[in-house]
Structure 1
Amino acid sequence: MTKQVIGIDLGGTAIKLGRFTQDGNCLQSITVDTPQPATPEAVLLKMVDAITQIDPDNQSIAIGLGTPGPADAAGRVAKVAINLAGWHDIPLADWLEAKTGKPTILANDANCAGLGEAWLGAGRNFQHLILLTLGTGVGGAVILDGKLFIGHQGAAAELGLITLTPDGPMCNSGNQGSLEQYTCISAIRRRTGKEPAELGALAQKGDTEALTFWQEYGKDLGIGLTSLIYVFTPQAIIIGGGVSASFEYFLPAMQAEIEKRVLPTSRVGLQILPAELGNSAGMVGAAKLAWGIGDR
């Protein structure tokens, strides 16, 4: 029997689960609604039920789970889960292990998406890469030497919270003018009064205002990425999240800004690529996480 693991992506509205072989083949996947209110106990029961659906013969050897918020460095505790009710310091790995008898590990969902892209997506040919997810918020992941960089207490790679302009709009983090405040979906609405998809469709038709907006957007993104490139010198930057649907319209301005601001020695061969795995990146990365403990 081929060894298998389960990857779970826990979101505010849906929970995605997949059963994977070691070479990344997804044997089966399902999506279930996140219970409302999404209390830790309700979510746990829903996940356990979904695990029995996806693995009725109990063939999997480990579970990886992406949570919408920071996990501790050991991958045991969901410290806070954004958009989920009553989540503070929840020992979710212990709970799942007790219910399923399988070793379990947690990570932040953006870190899981980064691992997923590095394993089976746009980052599979690189050892050093950054993933930036442009959506409701701006999340990120950093992979160095093929490994997830989580930093002290597992809190590294909050890439959207770096400062872009010192006196810009207030950010939930307490920062002002963070990259997120210029590049997330609500920032795009604030700047244009339109939805990202609408601006993408207008740009496709050659609308001058929309094309100009995407140029400005690309410039802001490029400036933010400049700081990250100087620190991490990645081989690739992968852009994911809903806003990445308009990648082709903001890429040129983003690249031009990076080329202007970053020394050639810090960006040798740098590639900027759209993410490839879409909504399944988190689930795939969670499975990759599970292989890390399933192999022991």
Structure 2
Amino acid sequence: MSDPCVLGVDLGGTAIKLGLFSLGGDLLAEHQLPTPQPATPGAVCMAIVEAIGVLDPDGRASAVGIGLPGPMDAEARIARVCINLPGWEEVPLAAWLEPRLNRRVTLANDGNCALVGEAWKGAASGFDDVVLLTLGTGVGGGVMLSGALFTGHHGAAAEPGLITLFPEGPACNSGNRGSLEQYASITGLQRLGADDPAALAAAASGGDQEALAIWDRYGELLGTGISSLVYVFTPQLVLLGGGLAGASAHFLPAVQREVTSRVQAISREGLQIKACALGNGAGRLGAARLAVQRLLSSAPPQAG
């Protein structure tokens, strides 16, 4: 009989990333596929079922954790809303998937999953108070206070990408205007004049002054938003994940500069700001970890 294992799934706006893990967090196998377009609930549900069939054809995993870009209900079975995915309001995804997968499913916010993954095996290990931002199609994130996920009333807290940066800025799918997401997401970067983030990063690495200036401005905007979050949570650590974090060497200096200039010294005492250690793998690892905690063990479950 094979050793017990668990599946972690990270649903993003452009890709679905899956991992098959041992209960101790070792990656046994992985799979990735493009997110269906449009990413309607039904299309995503079937894509996940098919992808799990490819990754785990023998049904070795006894539980599945799924990270999604939005808040869940308190029982972690219903996706309340995913503002950047069409049709995602009160979607009972766990109930849809369980009979198709013949195993239990738990849901969580993707930023919280990334934070749980980094706390378990990555850059947040050993820290109690952490803010994490995922920089990609949108800007998500998670907050850990005193070693526990902070999810707030009905599990909807810690959406750092939706705080207001400029009140008259571009409209956000959340209903806000000028949210941090509108400036720190891929779309926000493109507003600064960059069509392709990978090409912009390569140009900056080659010393292109225009590319370096765009990343510097991006870092200023991101750092302004992070400054507000630091005042609220006074974390030990701010972690940056998601696809854009791969270019963090080009914008972290500007982020640090803004936070230093905007936040009083006592509120940022000992603060570290750095990229996630696990890259885009943090979300699927954290989703798997939450599945173990909630569905397969007697460990105290974490919400979100």
Contact 1:202 1:210 in 2 (8 A): yes
Contact 2:8 2:64 in 1 (8 A): yes
- Greater CA deviation, 281-290 or 78-87? 78-87
2:242 corresponds in structure 1 to: 241
Report the TM-score when normalising by structure 1. 0.88
- Greater CA deviation, 43-52 or 68-77? 43-52
1:69 corresponds in structure 2 to: 70
Sort the Cα spacing of 1:246 and 1:11 in 2 relative to 1 into closer, same or farther, 3 A.
Answer: closer
- Compute the displacement of 1:122 (Å): 2.0
- Asked whether 1:295 is paired with 2:297, we answer yes
Aligned length: 296
Contact 2:40 2:85 in 1 (8 A): yes
> Structure 2: any 5+ residue segments left out of the alignment?
299-304
Question: Matches of 2:54 and 2:202 in 1, distance apart?
Answer: 39
Contact 1:73 1:150 in 2 (8 A): no
Write the deviation string for residues 76-122 of structure 1: whole angstroms up to 9, x where unpaired: 10223456554332222223333444332101222222222222222
Contact 2:215 2:250 in 1 (8 A): yes
Sort the Cα spacing of 1:57 and 1:215 in 2 relative to 1 into closer, same or farther, 3 A.
Answer: closer
Write the deviation string for residues 7-63 of structure 1: whole angstroms up to 9, x where unpaired: 122345543322212321012222345556655445444434443444445443322
1:5 corresponds in structure 2 to: 6
SS at match of 1:126: coil
Question: Matches of 2:202 and 2:37 in 1, distance apart?
Answer: 33
Sort the Cα spacing of 1:186 and 1:101 in 2 relative to 1 into closer, same or farther, 3 A.
Answer: closer
Question: Matches of 1:26 and 1:92 in 2, distance apart?
Answer: 25
Equivalent AA in structure 1 for residue 209 of structure 2: T
Question: Matches of 1:255 and 1:240 in 2, distance apart?
Answer: 16
- Asked whether 1:210 is paired with 2:216, we answer no
- Greater CA deviation, 163-172 or 93-102? 93-102
Matches within 5 A, 1:127-276: 127-276=128-277
2:302 corresponds in structure 1 to: none
Write the deviation string for residues 171-220 of structure 1: whole angstroms up to 9, x where unpaired: 22222222222222222222225433333222222223322332222222
Sort the Cα spacing of 1:239 and 1:95 in 2 relative to 1 into closer, same or farther, 3 A.
Answer: same
- Greater CA deviation, 178-187 or 230-239? 178-187
Contact 2:39 2:86 in 1 (8 A): yes
Sort the Cα spacing of 1:16 and 1:197 in 2 relative to 1 into closer, same or farther, 3 A.
Answer: closer
Sort the Cα spacing of 1:172 and 1:240 in 2 relative to 1 into closer, same or farther, 3 A.
Answer: same
Write the deviation string for residues 260-281 of structure 1: whole angstroms up to 9, x where unpaired: 2222222222111112222222
Question: Matches of 1:274 and 1:14 in 2, distance apart?
Answer: 20
Question: Matches of 1:51 and 1:143 in 2, distance apart?
Answer: 30
Sort the Cα spacing of 1:23 and 1:196 in 2 relative to 1 into closer, same or farther, 3 A.
Answer: same
Sort the Cα spacing of 1:162 and 1:198 in 2 relative to 1 into closer, same or farther, 3 A.
Answer: same
Question: Matches of 1:8 and 1:20 in 2, distance apart?
Answer: 11
1:29 corresponds in structure 2 to: 30
Contact 2:13 2:137 in 1 (8 A): no
Question: Matches of 2:250 and 2:38 in 1, distance apart?
Answer: 39
Cα RMSD (Å): 2.4
Question: Matches of 2:290 and 2:105 in 1, distance apart?
Answer: 9
- Asked whether 1:123 is paired with 2:124, we answer yes
